Amino acid sequence: MTLIAFDRYNVIVKGLSGKPLTINGALLRILGVWLFCLIWTVAPVLGWNRYVPEGNMTACGTDYLSKDLLSISYIIMYGVASYVCPLSLIVYSYWFIIQAVAAHEKNMREQAKK
C-alpha cells in the first residue's frame, strides 16, 4: 500500500516532471517489499523474540506477552517499522495528493469563470 501511495504521489503531484515507473523499477520495489517482510519474519527464528502458538493452537505468532527486553524491543521495532512508518508515508503521500487535486480544482473553477 505504501508503494502504491508513492506511485500515486509521483503521478498526481509531480505530473510530467515525475520519474515514470518502469518494469525494472516495479520489480525492484516488489523485491524490496519481500526483503522487508523476510527480515521481520526471520528475526524471531534467529532469536529476536520467538514464535508461540496462538488462539486454539492452530496458528503461530510472535510472543507479544513476554516481558524480557529482547521481546519488547522486537515488538516495538516491528510496530514502528511495519505500521507507523508505512502509515506515515501513506498519510504524507495522500496529504500532498489532496492538496494537488484541490489546487487543480481551484484553477479549473477560475478558468470556468473566464
- Cell triple for residue 30? 516488489
Q: What is the pLDDT of residue 72?
A: 96
Determine the Cα–Cα distance for residues 19 and 13; give it in Å rounded to an integer: 12
CA angle 52, 53, 54 (to 5 degrees): 115
Q: Which residues of the chain have pLDDT under 70?
A: none
Q: What is the pLDDT of residue 55?
A: 86
Tell me what pLDDT residue 114 has: 73
pLDDT, residue 16, reads 83
